[in-house]
Structure 1
Amino acid sequence: MNPQNKIIIKSLELFEVYGIKQVTMDDISETMSISKKTLYIHFTGKKELVKEVVQFLFKLHFTAITKIIDDNISSIQKIKKIYEYALNYLMKVTPTFYLDLKKYYADSYKVYDQNRNKIIFGIIKDLLDKGQLEGTIDKSLNTELFCEFHLTNFDRISAYESLSIDSNPKDLLNNSIGVSLKGIINHSENNTIVKH
């Protein structure tokens, strides 16, 4: 693995635990046992590093989501698995990560927001539309509105400080998207969704 990727991976780990603002370039160089000068050879500053971290993070997300999409399961089950994956990730990341990104790193937040929208309004919406064509999802569902509603809920979940203490991913899934999925699927699909 090249040094730049090592820095990105280590920075992501630190940001996920402490938030972005809290972690300095000194902290990163110290944690990696490299000089600050070496760090600046690869990145012009923290803003560039944060942007690279966000892009790397979404490469990981899209790789995981692609594996789910390639599974030989129904569209509704793929949606459930994607949400489960997202909730599992949110549970391990401090909400400060997202709040710092939005407040202090506007360019990186744009990258974050664009990629998040690709997942929600691209991948999830496509799966919902496909489910409607397959007959597994209620044809009267406004898939755009459904996605908008769940994007807002995910923002709330990611900003909720005590999330990891009060809930586990299964509870969150069942009490957020799970409830909605039960309402939009045909009865024949309902049993397969609830039992996972």
Structure 2
Amino acid sequence: MELKERILQEADQLFHAYGIRSVSMDDIARKAGVSKKTIYQYYKDKDDLVSVMVHEMLSQDIRHFQHISEKAQDAIEEVILGAEQIKKMIRMVNPVVVFDLQKYHPKAWSIYKNFKEQYFLGALIRLMHRGIEEGYFRKDINVEILAKMRVEQVQMGFDPTLFPFDKYNVMDVQWAFFDHFIHGIVTLKGYSKLIQYRQVYYQNEKLSQSLPS
């Protein structure tokens, strides 16, 4: 692994463990076993390092979602596998990181917003049209409105003013949103498909609980 990548990896681990604001460049240098001067050879400042980290993370997420889209046999499986991928992403993210990004790192936050408003929204709209064509999603839904709602739900689940971290588990909030969303758009055919996939993915306890019995 190149030194630049190792520095980024060590910084990412610190950020996800303690939040971005509380981690200094000195902390990153000690964790990576290098001097701050060495870090500055690759990254202009902490904000630059955070921006690169967010870009790399989202690029990887896009590749995962694209693979899911190609792999899924139908829209129901795609939305379930997509939700599973989001769950993996959430497990890797300290909720404080999202708050720190929005408040203290506007450049990195802009990268995230572009991902949300361009790729994520577009992918969800495409998925919902696929579900309608396959007969799994209702034809009478407003795709654009519900897609935007779903995108905002994911971010809303990280908002400590709505769901304080000492009171709500982020994963529970996100799965409640997913459960509400998917049940609101499926047809009877889609509902039956959900039952089938519940059996396929039964080993995932949380996913099984979110689907109808």
TM-score (norm 2): 0.82
Alignment of 1:65-144 (within 5 A): 65-144=65-144
Change (3 A) 1:191 1:184: same
Change (3 A) 1:184 1:96: same
Alignment of 1:130-169 (within 5 A): 130-160=130-160, 161-162=164-165, 167=169, 169=171
Deviation at 1:168, TM superposition (A): 7.9
Q: Which runs of 5+ in 2 are unaligned?
A: 202-213
Distance 1:83 1:120 in 2: 12
Distance 1:154 1:35 in 2: 38
Asked if the contact 1:16–1:93 (Cα under 8 Å) also holds between the matched residues in 2, the reply is yes
Q: 2:176 aligns to what?
A: 175
Deviation at 1:174, TM superposition (A): 4.8
Distance 1:108 1:167 in 2: 25
Change (3 A) 1:142 1:60: same
Output the amino acid matched with 2:186. I
Output the amino acid matched with 2:188. H
Distance 2:98 2:170 in 1: 20
Equivalences, count: 194
Asked if the contact 1:51–1:108 (Cα under 8 Å) also holds between the matched residues in 2, the reply is yes
Asked if the contact 2:154–2:174 (Cα under 8 Å) also holds between the matched residues in 1, the reply is no
Change (3 A) 1:74 1:156: same
Moved over 3 A (4+): 165-169, 171-174
Deviation at 1:166, TM superposition (A): 5.2
Greater relative CO, 1 or 2 (CA 8 Å, sep 6+): 1
Change (3 A) 1:94 1:69: same
Asked if the contact 2:76–2:136 (Cα under 8 Å) also holds between the matched residues in 1, the reply is yes
Q: Which runs of 5+ in 1 are unaligned?
A: none
Change (3 A) 1:59 1:110: same
Distance 1:76 1:26 in 2: 47
Output the amino acid matched with 1:187. L
Output the amino acid matched with 1:111. I
Secondary structure of the equivalent of 2:11? helix
Secondary structure of the equivalent of 1:158? coil
